Structure 1
Amino acid sequence: MQRICVIGGSRYFGRLLVERLHAAGHQVTVINRGSTRPPAGVEHLVVDRGDEPALVAALGSRTFDVTVDQVCYTPVQAAIAVRAFAGRTRRYVMTSTIEVYDPAATGPTALPAHTPVPEEHVDPRAWPVAPDLPWDDEAYLEAHYAEGKRQAEAVFTRDGGFAFASVRSAHVLGGGAQEFTGRLAYYSERIGKGEEIAVHAEALPTVFIHYEELADLLLWAATASDFTGPVNACSDGRLDVRELAAVVAAQSGGTPVHRTVAAGGTASPFSFDRHYAMSNTRAKELGFAFSHVDDWLPGAVGETAAVTA
């Protein structure tokens, strides 16, 4: 049994992670602002993680083997966590995102064209941090989501007094009504109604992960592995937007109707005009076994179609 703290953990794969940690016999503490209670038997600390004095007071004398941070979006939040958890946790795992590799910010890779990007392409040890930017402005944060995650990783890597790992998640799908982003429902509904899907002329593939697989990987990262640094989390197999639409159509009926947008135009979710795929080789070498996207995507589409019908 390990003592594990989960910051966030109120919905989707975060809640599933909490359930699986508890079911595995670990002593789990959840920290959130109280909108959703954790399962019975899980300790619940209601506090805003951005309020440092309140967070420190809520933690009290508690110590943890591992802390899993599901809701760190800025370098300011990361710096607060570094101070609050100093001496309180042996290891810290942050949920990050594929968005950290957005070529619009990181620039082109030195890899051959369309090669899945490895973790070292964005090295948090060298990424600049600017805590004085307006990170508390919701509109600014939404527009700079990827940069906030990059800078948060950098703060933990350089300033944390504990072992630190980040899990850079691919686009998460599955779960029917649980999929709060609504992106899979978007395709199911539009294809079912024969409505247009806006795509780039040369849409490039990206990578995905099922929400249950991401919960499994976070469970593994927290309890079964001591790796540090970033690790990419994505199922095997890549899909572009047209291939994704074809899977949705095969499961839910209808025929995809594509409308090509001009360069720089707004397209549907998961239509990318720049390379957006990660390599999952490091996680495999560390011992995690991924599914293939073909193994679970049809079922996820079916779950979503049943909810949106």
Structure 2
Amino acid sequence: MKRILVVGGSRYFGKTLVTRARDAGDEVTVLNRGSGAPPPGVGRLVADRDDEEALRTALGPRDFDVVVDQVCYTPLQAAVARRVFAGRTGRYVMTSTMEVYDPATLPAGLPAGLETVTATATRSGSGPVPVPVTEASLDPVRLPLAGAAGRPPGDRPAYVYAEGKRQAEALFLRDPAFPYVSVRAAHVLGGGAAEFTGRLAHYVERIAAGTPVDVHESPYATSFIHHREMAEFLYWTTDRTFTGPVNAASHGAPDVIALCEAVAAQVGRDPRYRVVGEGAAASPFSFDRAYAMDNGRASALGFGFGRVADWLPGAIAETPRAAG
């Protein structure tokens, strides 16, 4: 039995992780701002994680075998957590994102050795040729610090999200206070209405209605993972000893056209496309750059990923359509 603290854990695969750990016999506690009551048999602490004093007060003398941090988005949050949980946990697992690899959000003038992220694909007569990125493709410790200590944050939401995760990883990895893992998650799908981003619903609704989907001329493949598989992977990491970044993605990396075809097979209507110009916004999961992930490290460590092709039809079928 492990004593596990989940920071966040009130929605989507975080909720699944909490019940998975509880059902395995672990002593599970969630910590959040009171956004939702945990399931029966799970402890609860209420605090704003940004408030260091309030966080310490909520924790009291408690310590844990593992902390799983679902909602660390900024280096400030990482710094608070690093100070507060030093000496309180034997392992810290942070849910990060594949967006840390996105060439569109990486700063110019990368240190030597990081350029591989921006050169992950070439074009030929047959279109994109993706080269999946490994964990070694990006070492956030080698990136310049943000804010007053380095470059200012960008103003685009995608940049802010990706850069926040990169900087949070960097802070935990510099002079580690405890064994630390950053799980770089692929795009998480499935769960019907629980999939709160609405990205898969975007395709289901548009294709079912005959509305064109905005795509790039030669879209690149990307990585996905089912929400239950993501929760299972996070739980798996709590019982291991490896540290550092690890990619979490199901086998297979479809592009947006393959995704649309899978949706079409479920809704019974052929997709229509509208090609957008270079640099223009497109539908979710249509990418004009490559950063699909290699899941080889996690596989070698013993985790058995499923295949996107096996679970995607079910995820599409359970996605609600807009009324009318």
Same fold (TM over 0.5): yes
Are the aligned partners of 1:177 and 1:307 in contact in 2 as well (CA < 8 Å)? no
SS at match of 2:293: coil
Identical amino acids, percent of aligned pairs: 58
Are the aligned partners of 2:21 and 2:28 in contact in 1 as well (CA < 8 Å)? yes
Cα drift, residue 112 of structure 1: 6.3
Deviates more, 1:123-132 or 1:172-181: 123-132
2:286 maps to 1:235: no
What is the rounded CA distance, in whole Å, between the counterparts of 2:21 and 2:172 in structure 1? 23
Which amino acid in structure 2 is aligned with residue 204 of structure 1? Answer: Y
Are the aligned partners of 2:116 and 2:137 in contact in 1 as well (CA < 8 Å)? no
Gaps of 5+ in 1: none
2:272 aligns with one of 251, 254, 257: 257
2:286 aligns with one of 248, 271, 278: 271
State the Cα deviation string for residues 105-153 of structure 1 (Å, max 9, x = none).
44554666421000011113323322559xxx9x776641000000000
SS at match of 1:90: coil
What is the rounded CA distance, in whole Å, between the counterparts of 1:104 and 1:142 in structure 2? 9
What is the rounded CA distance, in whole Å, between the counterparts of 2:24 and 2:323 in structure 1? 33
SS at match of 2:90: strand
SS at match of 1:64: coil
Deviates more, 1:200-209 or 1:110-119: 110-119
Q: Which residue of 1 aligns with 2:86?
A: 86
Number of residue pairs matched by the alignment: 305
Are the aligned partners of 2:205 and 2:321 in contact in 1 as well (CA < 8 Å)? no
Q: Which residue of 1 aligns with 2:69?
A: 69
SS at match of 2:305: coil
Q: Which residue of 2 aligns with 1:299?
A: 314
SS at match of 1:154: helix
Q: Which residue of 2 aligns with 1:195?
A: 211
State the Cα deviation string for residues 31-71 of structure 1 (Å, max 9, x = none).
00101111111110011100100001111100101000000
Cα drift, residue 255 of structure 1: 1.5
1:221 aligns with one of 218, 230, 237: 237
Cα drift, residue 279 of structure 1: 0.1
Cα drift, residue 93 of structure 1: 0.3
| Cα pair distance change 1:80/1:301, threshold 3 Å | same
Structure 1 segments (4+ residues) deviating >3 Å: 105-113, 139-143, 305-309
Q: Which residue of 2 aligns with 1:115?
A: 131
With normalisation by structure 1, the TM-score equals: 0.94
Are the aligned partners of 1:97 and 1:170 in contact in 2 as well (CA < 8 Å)? yes
Deviates more, 1:151-160 or 1:204-213: 151-160
Q: Which residue of 1 aligns with 2:112?
A: none
With normalisation by structure 2, the TM-score equals: 0.90
Cα drift, residue 172 of structure 1: 0.5
